[in-house]
Chain A
Amino acid sequence: MAYVSELEASLRPPAMEMPPYPPKVITLASGEEMVVRQVERKEIPTLLEAIYPLLWVERDFYDIVAARLFGELLAYKRHRVKDEYVLAGMIDGVLAGMVNGRLVDEKTGMSYHTLTIRRGLRVGSHLFAAKMEYHIEHLGQDEVLIVAESPIGFRRWMIEYPLEKRFEVQHELGGVPSWVLTSETYYKAKPRLAAGRRPVSEALLRGAETIALPVEEIVVRQVAGEKEGAE
């Protein structure tokens, strides 16, 4: 472990023991395999590069999600946020989406963001469920506090799981009244909302060792829209 000065240590939040997220693989509608694994601090710059072009895409609230996520990822890398985790989904080694959150305490999680880069394959749904799986099954938490910036997307989670109101709690994302996913609801919803297989084969893990960036132009176009006509 690198040397941490007393001063630096005083600026860092105390860290809880967090068992790592065990990677899994998911067969997507296209037949492609997506590996979902935890992201290390040294990989954060790659994720930042992927998010950067989305900072100015207003559609679907991508701009605020990208901006906040950028800050959260940077804070994770620089040890300025307590007990944060980042999970990424990769298809053939190329980044397909990412999710993050943190642990408020042993029993309560705080979900941050879900960003889908490869659209049309329910990557966001898979990764959101993976994050809930991490909080509840692997970190042993009782509940996860959740809000979202995009109203329609959020409604889907709200109704789909379903989430309960915990409005007396202000969520860290702007102090918005929180919703919560309880352990009980998670397990009931798991058969229809969470998927994936373990263990992941050696070959797939090796293929997902390095996060490759998607082509920026394609990312923005998939997210923001077309300006193409007839030939």
Chain B
Amino acid sequence: MKPVYIAGAGMTKFGRSEWSLLQLASVASLAALHHADLGEIPVDGVVVANMGAARINRQTALGSALVDQLALYPAAAEAVENGPASGASAFKVGVQAIASGMADVVLVTGVERMRVVNGLEGTDFVASLSQPEVEYIYGVTLPSLAGMFARLFMDRFGVERKHLAMIAIKNHENATKNPYAHIQQTVTMEGILTAPEAVVNNPPIAEPLHMFDCCPVSDGAASIVLVSEEVAGKLGGPMVRVAGIGQATDTHAVHEREDPTDLKAVRIASEKAFAMAGAQPADVDVAELHDAFTILEIAESEAAGFFAKGEGHKALERGETKLDGTLPINPSGGLKAKGHPVGATGVAQLVELTWQLRGEAKERQIKDAKIGYACNFGGFGNNVVATVLRREA
């Protein structure tokens, strides 16, 4: 396998956008292309990550559409769909193209424009990733799977609602330092949990998960320019290496999981990524985890190998995962506060890591960040892509 590097990264502000799906994708793509400053070097391939365009935006063949918007013909192009892990999957496809020697420059762009439909339609659409015969028919929605997971996990490992609130508070705080974040609003323990008004401020969504445990529905796009070692050398910028990628699947129906509190696919994908990178979880300086629900940040931090089982919430309590902690998690604000345009998220995590490793994260910069880790959680944990990035020069 040939080495693969990231030459550029860009994104749009996440939130509620007036731009069309293709406009969002183009703006993010151009930001990444400008960042990479390719000059005369051509783009060989474009990979688009997206989950809902066919149903929600009534658009298909997004790879071809984006090539056209950016006038990158005759570059190869396709779209990749892997539910909420579409972003990292598209990234993986781009990496494989370069690692195989088939391409030198690949543009990977994740995009989603979900807010054109109302919340009920959006919820039902995302629920389409559940198992049709044994989950969907019961009215299972993604929050309900997260709620059932949370209850069992919390009961087994002594995690309390206050820990979930800490995740929300931390990520909202981080997002105020991120101009691209959807939510620019800090929240307090009093406001979302302990005050009598918290009952109204933070209503139940899928108990024990409440409103501030769930990420918002966002529009947005994020983009990365992947290059071969040769091109990276020519460009002469910071050398951010795609050190490792791992992917793993698990049963579709959550009730068929071997241990329903064990995020097995996260563990296997992470082990593969670290093995490829020749690194350990302890080497990681900064991580972007998939906190579509606050409980997932805690559970993933354990399954990825950063903390022992049942210790994730204790590390959180000790402040280890804050911006100034020993392992900052979700400096971008995470899905919870940065937002979750489904197809863009996996790419946006890597955009944040790229900026961190290049020293370009400004107010939320993690000092001396050299190795970054991202976890993109597809389905409800039945398809996970983990990535390790390393700053080499």
- Tell me, yes or no, whether A and B come into direct contact in the complex with CB atoms closer than 8 A: yes
Contact of A152 with B by CB under 8 A: yes
Contact of B191 with A by CB under 8 A: yes
* Residues from chain A with Cβ under 8 Å of B12 in the complex: 228-230
B-contacting 9-mer, from A62-70, A92-100, A118-126, A169-177:
A118-126
Q: Are B199 and A29 in contact (CB under 8 A)?
A: no
Contact (A27, B195) CB under 8 Å given A122-B200, A152-B118, A225-B18: yes
**How far does the alpha carbon of A142 sit from the alpha carbon of B212 in the complex, in Å?**
34
Q: Which of A1-32 contact B (CB under 8 A)?
A: 26-32
Contact of B254 with A by CB under 8 A: no
Who on chain B is nearest to A194 by CB? B200
Per DSSP, are chain A's interface residues mostly helix, strand or loop, or mixed? loop
* Residues from chain B with Cβ under 8 Å of A197 in the complex: 196
* Residues from chain A with Cβ under 8 Å of B157 in the complex: none
Binary per-residue interface labels of chain B (111-141) against chain A in the complex, 1 for a CB within 8 Å, 0 otherwise: 0000100111000000000000000000000
* Residues from chain A with Cβ under 8 Å of B16 in the complex: 225-226
A-contacting 9-mer, from B71-79, B182-190, B224-232, B293-301:
B182-190
Q: Are A230 and B18 in contact (CB under 8 A)?
A: no
Give min CB distance, B68 to chain A, whole Å.
19
Binary per-residue interface labels of chain B (357-376) against chain A in the complex, 1 for a CB within 8 Å, 0 otherwise: 00000000000000000000
Give min CB distance, A159 to chain B, whole Å.
11
Who on chain A is nearest to B220 by CB? A226
Contact of B201 with A by CB under 8 A: yes
**How far does the alpha carbon of A99 sit from the alpha carbon of B251 in the complex, in Å?**
49
Give min CB distance, A189 to chain B, whole Å.
11
Binary per-residue interface labels of chain A (153-170) against chain B in the complex, 1 for a CB within 8 Å, 0 otherwise: 001000000000000000
Give min CB distance, A190 to chain B, whole Å.
10
Binary per-residue interface labels of chain A (195-231) against chain B in the complex, 1 for a CB within 8 Å, 0 otherwise: 1110000000000000000000000000011111111
Interface size class on chain B is: 35 or more
Which B residues have a C-beta under 8 Å from some C-beta of A? 10-13, 15-19, 27-28, 30-31, 115, 118-120, 179-180, 183, 185-188, 190-192, 195-203, 212
**How far does the alpha carbon of A224 sit from the alpha carbon of B17 in the complex, in Å?**
8
26 pairs, CB–CB < 8 Å, chain A vs chain B: A26-B197, A27-B197, A28-B191, A28-B197, A30-B188, A30-B191, A121-B185, A122-B203, A129-B200, A151-B118, A152-B119, A192-B199, A192-B200, A195-B201, A197-B196, A224-B18, A225-B15, A226-B17, A227-B17, A228-B12, A228-B13, A229-B19, A230-B10, A230-B12, A230-B28, A230-B30
Binary per-residue interface labels of chain A (22-50) against chain B in the complex, 1 for a CB within 8 Å, 0 otherwise: 00001111111000000000000000000
Who on chain A is nearest to B183 by CB? A120
**How far does the alpha carbon of A227 sit from the alpha carbon of B195 in the complex, in Å?**
36
Q: Are B200 and A126 in contact (CB under 8 A)?
A: yes
Q: Are B27 and A229 in contact (CB under 8 A)?
A: yes
Q: Are A31 and B15 in contact (CB under 8 A)?
A: no
Give min CB distance, B270 to chain A, whole Å.
30
Who on chain B is nearest to A122 by CB? B201
User: Which of A152, A194, A227 contacts B18, CB < 8 Å?
Assistant: A227
Chain B CB count within 10 A is highest, among A125, A191, A226, for A226
